[in-house]
Structure 1
């Protein structure tokens, strides 16, 4: 048996409920994993509220780490007893144990704890694909990264510093800006006290090479004014709400800009690419380039409180759920 967090109707944090389910055995291409910790991410909020619709009722949670208990036919990269971690569809990580597809579950090195893995799989592989697969960055490039003190943001600050990338961050308080700077941001702008657009223009001159924006509606229009001609706008999240439609002529007028709306799970869908991304992430942690920042921890019974904290921007770094 396993405790699972589910929703029967989309809505607020109060719509989540904990139920007991029979886990069962894995079929072909599947594993059964017993979780030690799971992660909390904005995609969980989007699914809970219905912004990203699920067939209801449905379990929630996209990221966890634990021990493989059983493997189904055809699974060769994992075996019972292995430490493993994942950020993967379908949702269901808010649970003691689950049966799930094996392809996107990754062997976890002994040097990385279950809690650290639960804190970085989704967010760390997001940074990996943003920096190396959407718009490959090189030393000397400039990036505007919104929400630089969040879980993804702090990892991006460290990753950028380790590779000689100039990262200009934004955050909502002076304390959060200081945290981003301590983690490797070159500059950080308090967007509540300052309009970030002229601040970025002063810092970056002709504009940044790329904007990486997980905030969405509140930052999108201003971000376009921060990009140098022929630069790239990467929208990868909707923390403040979805971006309104944009005219292609706007991109032309602002300097023949490029724009993409990405999702991590498109990149993870290929088994080998997923494993390569995880290996790259783990190597950054092992080298000391990335230090995992677990800002807050909630027990599974307080999952609603965890969601409220995330939505109200009260969290810093990563949030994990303990079991």
Structure 2
């Protein structure tokens, strides 16, 4: 019999707080009956909602927290005021001490990353964590990282991100040897920043069995699904993410305006409604809600702060899936294999070349 998956939830995070988190957790439980929850938040707010969700209440252990990190709190402020007492910190502690296999929060991204780094620490040999997003593509889905954890990255950090993203692709997509591409201004080896070119050389030389490095990819490859994992640093990754989200909304508005302009267009919409419904489902950001903090000594999933219950449920499902597929062990094994390859010596040379 399969073992239950335990997740810790920051019930106070996000724009909607427990009024979104708890219904989302209930939807997640309906889809994944093996989930159990450790829920952290203000009990006077949680208990009335849970009374309407008896199945969720039965599968949950509640923990009262007096402090909630606000969405506009600065990371340093959240650490000072919310450390030890907040629902966010307590949820992370459950991940640290092994009570939960993963942590899910829709709270302040900067505060969550700061607290996660302080509470969980980074994995051995990983200097900086990354946020990985699942990206809808023409071919299905791919993983893009970093989409906003840090600004800038040297060659070694880009290699770390490649290993982290590859392990996630193996765990989430079930791909034995995922393809990896470095986001660049062109596919030619002579183009781009020295850090990217150095990382490309070292990935090719390492010849890792767990990933298939295919070279540089460009911005339009994100939507094409040219590779399973696209690696970049947080500045360009976050811009790409926000651009894609804005473009999806722009196309939706164009279609809505075009379909309501004339009577003939409205009739055409009715005839094509099944096709538009499929398009809407494909572009629904709630289906891929959940940024994964990779490189920490624990699993943390960041749900979009403005999501609804359906979107939070997607983050819960993603967290449970990664726990079942033992993502942390996969990452550790891939890092060990990289160091065993001897590529770390060449990495130091590459760092000098990148300066």
TM-score range, shorter chain: 0.3 to 0.5
TM-score, reference length from structure 1: 0.35
The structure that is helix-richer by fraction is: 2
TM-score, reference length from structure 2: 0.33
The structure that is strand-richer by fraction is: 1
**Higher Rg of the two aligned structures:** 2
> Which is bigger in relative contact order (C-alpha 8 A, separation at least 6)?
2
